[in-house]
Amino acid sequence: MDIKFGFADTARELVISVDGQQDELSQQINSALADNSALELVDEKGRKYIIRTDRVVYVEIGATKPHAVGFMGA
């Protein structure tokens, strides 16, 4: 699922594709935002992101529903 971060004073967004459940990630992000602490996430390729939460304006957490791929015949 994709997690999109918006930061103050910039039009650019940070989008990270991570594995995990939406509820768990939401709780982890809310905790870091409430404590104004650094948030550490690992993406699907194993890259580690450390995000300072003091400049985060919004977070969009994608749905856990997988996308349908392919064609359906009748």
Q: How far apart are CA 29 and CA 56, in angstroms?
A: 11
pLDDT at residue 11 in the model: 92
**0.75 exceeded by pTM:** yes
Q: Is residue 46 part of a domain?
A: yes
At residue 31, φ and ψ (nearest 5 deg) are -65, -45
What's the pLDDT band for 63 if we cut at 50, 70, 90? confident
**Cβ contact 21:64 at 8 Å:** yes
pLDDT at residue 65 in the model: 61
pLDDT at residue 73 in the model: 61
The C-alpha angle with vertex 34 and arms to 29 and 26, in degrees rounded to 5, equals 20
Q: Is residue 66 part of a domain?
A: no
pLDDT at residue 41 in the model: 95
Give me the domain span that covers residue 7.
Answer: 2-61
Distance of CA 8 to the CA centre of its chain: 17
Q: Is residue 70 part of a domain?
A: no
pLDDT digits (tens, 9 = 90+) for 10-51: 999 999 999 989 999 999 999 999 999 999 999 999 999 999
